[in-house]
């Protein structure tokens, strides 16, 4: 395994990594940057193509011993050793780790998200906190969602905090970015019911939490942390759904709400079919 030493911040690969980590995408289409041995391990575990590995000088052993040694890096993978300060200056985390990488994630399309007899999707509109997004993606995978769609205003899934909070789900869960119009067109064409997650509202009668049949093909729409779903999004959904909260709170954190709804869908889908016969 050949390791090439790089000393200059003007190196094209180093500049590409710096851009990718700050812009959450590379100047090279389809390439994203990640920091840390754990994220690189998760990417390898998910079968993601690794393009370049950057390792701080003195830490070259990280590439040739577990956990990375448990995966066979392709011969085409470029491995660059940088002075520790140069790699730290390139990183975006508060406590930079001595390893980073450029990877090429999978590209997903709508048919993959809508796979199976009863797709379950989570649609994020304006979710701006990267930790919330990562947590939602982790919950979506945990509760067997078939995919996620990210609408305009939602933070990048390749944000470093999003990737860490997802615990690797960002590499495995089928997901894509889409416009509002494209999303609704695809869901309607596939016969997917669209449910808008809303706080308690006086002006709308929402169905009781347990009355909706979430075993049907379903897309759960989750809005921004501050203002929730925009009216123009909620109005296009088939129904509004509110999680009952007996305590004196107006709404739940976006990640908590999404996780509860995904769990309820998973719970219903695990029940015998007869249990859903009276649900709409």
What CATH code is carried by the domain that includes residue 149?
3.40.1280.10
pLDDT class of 202 with cuts at 50, 70, 90? very low
Same domain, 168 and 266: yes
Same domain, 77 and 129: no
pLDDT class of 97 with cuts at 50, 70, 90? very high
Structure tokens at 132: 């919330």
To the nearest whole number, what is the mean pLDDT of the chain?
Answer: 90
pLDDT class of 29 with cuts at 50, 70, 90? confident
Domains contained in the chain, number: 2
Containing structural domain, residue 73: 4-104
Asked which of 66, 87, 104 is the last residue of a domain, the reply is: 104
Q: Please check the confidence at residue 277 and state whether its pLDDT lies above 70.
A: no
Kindly report the number of other CB atoms within 10 A of residue 163's CB atom.
29
Same domain, 142 and 96: no
At 226-259, the pLDDT tens digits run 888 999 999 999 999 888 777 877 678 899 999 9
Same domain, 253 and 134: yes
Same domain, 117 and 248: yes
Same domain, 140 and 226: yes
Structure tokens at 117: 């007899």
Give pLDDT, residue 205. Answer: 47
Same domain, 246 and 131: yes
Same domain, 96 and 147: no
Same domain, 161 and 265: yes
Burial of 232 (0-12, 13-18, 19+ CB in 10 A): exposed
Output the pTM of the full model: 0.90
Same domain, 173 and 260: yes
Q: What is the CATH number of the domain that holds 47?
A: 3.30.1330.30
Q: What percent of the chain has pLDDT over 90?
A: 71
Q: Per-residue pLDDT averaged across 135-145, rounded?
A: 98
Asked which of 104, 131, 148 is the last residue of a domain, the reply is: 104
Sheet holding 78-82, edge to edge: 4-5, 78-82, 49-56, 99-104, 32-35
């Amino acid at each position: 395994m050949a390791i090439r030493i790089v000393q200059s911040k003007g190196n094209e690969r180093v500049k590409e990594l710096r851009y990718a980590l700050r812009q959450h995408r590379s100047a090279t289409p389809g390439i994203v940057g990640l920091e840390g041995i754990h994220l690189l391990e998760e990417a390898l575990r998910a079968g993601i193509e690794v393009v370049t590995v950057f390792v701080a000088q003195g830490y070259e052993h990280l590439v040739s011993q577990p956990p990375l040694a448990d995966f066979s890096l392709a011969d085409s993978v470029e491995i660059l050793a940088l002075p520790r300060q140069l790699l730290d200056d390139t990183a975006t985390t508060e406590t930079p780790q001595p390893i980073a990488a450029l990877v090429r994630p999978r590209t997903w399309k709508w048919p993959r998200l809508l796979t199976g007899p009863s797709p379950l999707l989570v649609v994020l509109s304006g979710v701006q906190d990267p930790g919330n997004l990562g947590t939602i993606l982790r919950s979506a995978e945990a509760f067997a969602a078939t995919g996620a769609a990210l609408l305009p205003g939602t933070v990048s899934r390749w944000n470093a905090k999003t990737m860490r909070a997802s615990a690797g789900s960002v590499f495995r869960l089928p997901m894509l970015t889409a416009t509002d119009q494209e999303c609704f067109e695809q869901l309607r064409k596939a016969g997917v019911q669209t449910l808008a997650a809303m706080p308690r509202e006086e002006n709308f009668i929402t169905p009781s939490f347990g009355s909706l049949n979430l075993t049907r093909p379903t897309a759960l729409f989750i809005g921004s942390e501050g203002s929730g779903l925009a009216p123009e999004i909620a109005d296009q959904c088939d129904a509004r759904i509110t999680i009952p909260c007996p305590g004196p709170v107006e709404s739940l954190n976006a990640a908590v709400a999404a996780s509860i709804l995904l769990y309820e869908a998973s719970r219903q889908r695990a029940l015998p079919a007869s249990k859903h016969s009276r649900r709409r």
